Structure 1
Amino acid sequence: MAALRALLDGLYRVSGVAAALCLIAILTLIVLQMLARWTGEVFPGAPEYAGYAMAAASFLAFASALNHGSHIRVSILLNSLGPRAGRALDIWCFVIGSAVAWYFTYYAWRFVNFSYKFKDISQGQDRTLLWMPQSLMLIGAAILAVALTDNLIHLIVTGKNRVVRDLVDQSHGE
């Protein structure tokens, strides 16, 4: 079990790092597009690539954000309930979240498969095969579904979820 736990935690960490790299790619693309405009050159497809990187960054960051307590939770309701009712509500939330995430992942896979099968390309200047950027969304959705299911199983077995609130990060936004 320790090896599986290390593998899952590593997966969540790698997806968070990949999301951060996508954000760096967005910055790089914007700067390159600015430089191209200043020099009179054309960088075709830069806005589209930045959009693909933004979608990838969002989906790849979901699992890491979940485990670091960055997702919005209605803690006021959970804190007002007793331990048993709070645990039942937490389990119910993770069941619904897991089901929705797996449902989305399945249909995202069908969407990517459809784009691959019919060689669907973007309508912008980049003419990218759409299954490529869509695959990053699919990977992020699958990792989120795994993370939600992992949290659900952990909650059922141990009675506590794995969501760790980072109070230092939260205090900067308040």
Structure 2
Amino acid sequence: MTFLRRFLDFLYLASGVLAALCLISILSLIVAQMLARWIGEIFPGAPSYAGYAMAAASFFAFANALNRGAHIRVSVLLNAVPPGPKKLLEIWCFALAAGIAWYFTYYAYWFVYWSWKFKEVSQGQDATHLWIPQSVMVLGGGLLAIALTDNLINVLFKGEHRISRDIVDQAHGE
């Protein structure tokens, strides 16, 4: 079980690193586009690529952000509830969120499949095959679904989730 735990933690960390790399690529694309304008050249498709990288950064960051406590949670309600009902409420929340994430991932997969099947391309100058940037939805959604299911299983069997509190929150004593 420790191998699986280490693998999942690595997967969540790797998704966060990928999200950071996507943000760096957005910066690089913006700088490249600025340089191209200064020398009188055109960088076709740069806004589209930056948009794809922004979507990728968002979807790759979901699982990592969840486990680091960066998602908005209803902590006020959870802290006001006694321990017995609190566990039931957390189980219900994680089960609902995991179900929605798996539902999204399933339909995102078919969305990407049909984009690939019909050879859809973007309408911009870049004419990118749309299944490529859309596949990030499946990967990021799947990682979030895995992370939510992981937390659900932890609440069910260990009684607590794996979401760590943000360091800023701990410094303020909240």
TM range (shorter): over 0.9
Q: How many residues align?
A: 172
- Name the structure 2 match of 1:22: 22
- Name the structure 1 match of 2:131: 131
Question: What are the within-5 Å matches in structure 2 for residues 78-157 of structure 1?
Answer: 78-157=78-157
Shift of 1:154: 0.7
Normalising by structure 2, report the TM-score: 0.96
Give the AA of the match of 2:167. Answer: L
- Name the structure 2 match of 1:68: 68
Shift of 1:5: 0.3
Work out the CA distance in 2 between the residues paired with 1:136 and 1:57.
9
Work out the CA distance in 2 between the residues paired with 1:28 and 1:138.
25
Normalising by structure 1, report the TM-score: 0.96
- Name the structure 2 match of 1:37: 37
Give ranges in structure 2 of 5+ residues lacking alignment. Answer: none
Asked if structure 1 preserves the Cα contact closer than 8 Å seen for 2:105 and 2:137, the reply is: no
Shift of 1:168: 2.3
Shift of 1:167: 2.8
- Residues 58-102 of structure 1: CA distance to partner in whole angstroms, max 9, x if unpaired? 000000000000000011100001001111111100000000000
Shift of 1:32: 0.4
Shift of 1:169: 6.7
Work out the CA distance in 2 between the residues paired with 1:106 and 1:37.
42
Work out the CA distance in 1 between the residues paired with 2:97 and 2:133.
24
Give ranges in structure 1 of 5+ residues lacking alignment. Answer: none
Shift of 1:171: 6.3
- Residues 106-130 of structure 1: CA distance to partner in whole angstroms, max 9, x if unpaired? 0000000001000000000000000
Percent of aligned pairs sharing the same letter: 64
